[in-house]
Structure 1
Amino acid sequence: MDDVPETTSSPTPSPEEIAELRRTAVDLAETAAAHVRARRPEVFGPAAAADDAVRTKGHPTDPVTVVDTETEELIRKLLAQQRPGDAILGEEGGGHLDVDSDTITWVVDPIDGTVNFLYGLPGYAVSVAAMRGGRSLAGAVVDVARSATYSAGLGLGALRVDGDGGVEHLRCAPVTELSLSLVATGFAYGTDRRARQAAMVADLLPRVRDIRRLGAAALDLCHVAAGRVDAYYEHGLNAWDFAAGALIAAEAGAHLVLPAATAPGAAGELVIAAAPGIAAELGKLLTEIGATESLPDR
């Protein structure tokens, strides 16, 4: 598998630089997660679900909350203080990822899994990654409800740190049979794309142990890294969905298929992360059922 787009020839960062970027990503993500954790009961508690707290984006089923916006603004403010020369690409505030530049770009998803957040379901995260030349150098994903931080640095491995301080060095599951694998996926908001994804699940389900749809791409990628699922695939992700999680999965040994970080999610390209023992077989099956074709959003 390992179909990761080539990047431009940026200078190779030192391990010390990568470690510092990782520390910054963890600090930003954990600070933002604390804000999200505090704000959810305030905004969406039993007596506080204000009508103006939620709006929609490209599709009626694709929500963004006031907390998404607040959280990205917080991260941008902290970055302006800590690393004023760096660029930022955020899901809510936009920005530009220049793959021909040596500038560090921080790629931010303030709440990945907003629908889960909106409904009070566990399974939403803050995702922060440092990219240069279209390549992730460091990243952190915080599972907000569980107070667990996943992080990685390029060439430095991947970790999960629990709220109580317990540390887990992440490795993919040792599974070698696709028929015994647990596969996670996600669904788009566009009606036609969702219908095609449903048909693919119907083809895939008899060939694997089971399917999970957890609702947060960044966490799905971290679950592959931790061996909590064996593989994950989804169409139509943007860079902020996978920039941190894909690096964490790769540093844990996952085989990856990724679009270019500049590819718009609306183009519907495929992301795959799989434990190495099933990566080739899964890739072959996804090709067989037509899942490796892009699914434009409409």
Structure 2
Amino acid sequence: MTTPHSDLLDDLPDDRLDDLLGLALEAARRAGELLRDGRPADLAVARTKSSPIDVVTEMDIAAEKLITDLISERRPDDGFLGEEGAASEGTSGVRWVIDPLDGTVNYLYGLPTWAVSIAAELDGETVVGVVAAPLRGETYHAVRGGGAFATGAWEGERALACRPAAPLDQALVATGFNYVTEVRAHQAQVAARVLPLVRDIRRGGSAAIELCDVASGRLDGYWERGLNPWDYAAGALIAREAGAVTGGRPGEPESPALAFAATPAVFEALQPLLEDFGAWHD
């Protein structure tokens, strides 16, 4: 199930979306450079959130401030929803949904799978998405109705497309685990039931990157319970624009209960199984 959109957005001028995309790309690039080049050798946990292992570092906070300051300077009437506390309504109809460092635990441990995720919503619908993965040397982006693209080690910009149709038993899928012990235990049970039915399961630790891996054909599908809008807003748009299907429970869009993106064939086969296995509850 893809997210429905308002007919009013069909008349949105392309140059307005291009402006939002350009700003998101600049903000993600600057934040990614800060995180890549400014990581202190003695990086430590600044605070915790849902559990002692759900951590925030000083760099998460610094990156979100960089992003919100830059966007506010250029577009003072826009609103924000950020993982590290940025929250304002705005008056322009545009809201920026920001994860300044998706994959904080990876970053804390020096693992390369982390990203900056920035989405722009217009009247509640995601219309622009950017995910920058500096240690991959790749940036993924999409505008609603305009396809999905990536820049990286290859020359120029590359159009993204999800993998061709494959049966479920040949699908490589990914998932993630919550930081609350009871939730993680149930998620492990769900993964154990899915594992015999697919080619294999991966767990990368960054929802934004794994959604972009669905978009770029590196995965056939990805699901996770317990995500927040800043985790999936940009990546889900990129996946949809690359031909994937996104959603949550049957008939619903992606949400904290369940976020799921896959090639159309894998989505059709796996979504009812995730429902039966209780992937949407603890």
- Shorter-chain TM-score tier: over 0.9
Aligned to 2:87: 95
Aligned to 1:159: 149
Contact 2:2 2:240 in 1 (8 A): no
Q: Could you tell me which amino acid in structure 2 is paired with residue 95 of structure 1?
A: A
Question: Offset at 1:175?
Answer: 3.1
Question: Offset at 1:10?
Answer: 5.3
Cα distance between partner residues in 2 of 1:36 and 1:20: 24
Cα distance between partner residues in 2 of 1:7 and 1:174: 26
Query: What is the RMSD computed on CA atoms of the aligned residues?
Result: 2.0
The farther-off stretch of 217-226 and 14-23 is 14-23
Task: Give aligned pairs, total.
Answer: 278
1:273 aligns with one of 247, 261, 267? 261
Query: TM-score under structure 1 normalisation?
Result: 0.87
Query: TM-score under structure 2 normalisation?
Result: 0.92
Aligned to 2:73: 81
Question: Offset at 1:8?
Answer: 6.4
Question: Offset at 1:290?
Answer: 2.1
Cα distance between partner residues in 2 of 1:205 and 1:177: 14
Q: Could you tell me which amino acid in structure 1 is paired with residue 263 of structure 2?
A: A
Question: Offset at 1:102?
Answer: 5.9
Deviations 1:53-102 (CA, angstroms, capped at 9, x unpaired): 5321121000100000000000111011111111111100231569xx76
Aligned to 1:179: 169
Cα distance between partner residues in 1 of 2:155 and 2:33: 16
Name the CA shift for 1:164/1:31 in 2 (closer, same or farther; >3 Å): farther
Name the CA shift for 1:248/1:160 in 2 (closer, same or farther; >3 Å): same
Question: Offset at 1:115?
Answer: 0.3
Question: Offset at 1:3?
Answer: 5.1
Aligned to 2:56: 64
- In the alignment, structure 2 segments of 5+ residues that lack a partner are none
Q: Could you tell me which amino acid in structure 1 is paired with residue 138 of structure 2?
A: A
Aligned to 2:111: 121
- In the alignment, structure 1 segments of 5+ residues that lack a partner are none
Aligned to 1:190: 180
Aligned to 2:27: 28
Cα distance between partner residues in 2 of 1:237 and 1:208: 23
Secondary structure in structure 1 of the residue aligned to 2:93: coil
Cα distance between partner residues in 1 of 2:160 and 2:89: 28
Taking only the aligned residue pairs, the percentage that are identical comes to 42
1:233 aligns with one of 223, 227, 235? 223
Deviations 1:198-239 (CA, angstroms, capped at 9, x unpaired): 000110000000000000000010000000010000001111
Contact 2:28 2:116 in 1 (8 A): yes
Aligned pair 1:210/2:209, yes or no?
no
